[in-house]
Amino acid sequence: MASIPSHQLKETKYNPLTGGKNILEDFKAQVNRGNFQKKEIVLYGSIFHEALVPLKQRLQGLCDPGEVKFREHEIAFYLSNDFIDTKTPFVFRFRRKFPNYEGNLMHLKYIGTPELNDKCPCIVRNRIDTVTQSTDQMEFIRGLGLRTDYEFIVEGYAYTKGEIVITVYKLSKIEKMGYYDDKNVKPFSNSYLVEISLQIPYLQDYSAPAKAVRDFADQLYPIVEMRKVNYWSTSQHKEKKRDKN
């Protein structure tokens, strides 16, 4: 099966680590255009392993030709409260290829708190992406004042429909932080997460793009039901419960 053209990957901004040799130059051009800050429109779903083949067949019929298979290592860091006066620390996510960390490149993203809009059919949140390159990535991260929160391995498939990106992936936990051999990497479950996302300019109205994402997601039903998951309320509830204890 033919792979997704590199220019299409750049348009969707999915996984800049596979976007070509001029990753850093492309990002500098984005900064100059003021395009590094985006609004991200997202829906989530999940399937059991038995539904993977039917879902992939449906996506191959609906999406642009080709798929990208990926396996990556993601680490979530937070900015210590020593630096900021807030109960909810800023969380940054670093992702790199696994197990081969080619070119010492790491994708850094910051995802903001979703907008509170009950009428919108999708999650809408601010997002900032960049690419870092360092021979000692962990030392670079510590130099930013970040502390490790958790890490996991993500493995799956990516598709595009124009500028909409669809990823189907499973998560594996790392039994002992910092040790990445096979005996320390264990699957969370037998299910796959499904994510449909679209990035638009920060100042653009998101009503029409959100409807486009919702309409595409509905075409995957009943194989998978894509939902606007209210994950931020769950995390806030846990924080309040922790404060009471």
CATH (domain of 216): 2.40.320.10
Q: Does residue 155 lie within any of the structural domains? A: yes
- Determine the residue type at 178: G
Write out the residue range of the structural domain in which residue 126 sits: 23-240
Q: How far apart are CA 154 and CA 205, in angstroms?
A: 31
CB 26 within 8 A of CB 19: yes
Number of domain units in the chain:
1
Query: Both tokens of residue 165?
Result: 């990106």
Computed over every residue of the chain, the mean pLDDT equals: 81
| Among the ranges given (7-21, 135-149, 156-170), the one the predictor scored with the smallest mean pLDDT | 7-21
Has residue 17 been placed in a domain? no
13 belongs to a structural domain: no
- Is position 185 within any domain? yes
pLDDT tens-place string over residues 83-119: 555 556 688 999 988 887 666 788 889 998 899 899 9
**105-111 and 91-97 strand pairing:** antiparallel
Say how many C-beta atoms besides its own lie within 10 A of residue 168's C-beta: 22
- Tokens standing for 50? 């038995």
- Which tokens is 112 given? 């903001």
Q: Give a yes or no: residue 9 inside a domain.
A: no
For 128-147, what is each residue's pLDDT tens digit?
Answer: 988 888 777 778 788 878 88
The proportion of the chain whose per-residue pLDDT surpasses 90, expressed as a percent, equals: 51
In this structure, of 33-47, 149-163, 215-229, the range with the lowest mean pLDDT score is 33-47
Q: Is residue 36 part of a domain?
A: yes
Beta-carbon contacts of 104 under 8 Å, excluding residues fewer than 6 positions away, are: 133, 134, 135, 137
Is residue 178 very low, low, confident or very high in pLDDT (cuts 50, 70, 90)? Answer: confident
Provide the pLDDT confidence category of residue 162 given band limits of 50, 70 and 90: very high
Which of the four pLDDT bands, split at 50, 70 and 90, describes residue 241?
Answer: very low
In a domain, 12, yes or no: no
Strands (E) in 134-163, as ranges, are 146-161
Tokens 């990208």 map to which residue? 68
Count the Cβ atoms, other than its own, within 10 Å of residue 40: 23
**Of 212, 230, 223, 16, residue with least CA distance to 108:** 16
What's residue 204's pLDDT? 92
Geometric angle at alpha carbon 42, from 39 and 47, rounded to 5°: 160
Domain assignment of residue 148, yes or no: yes
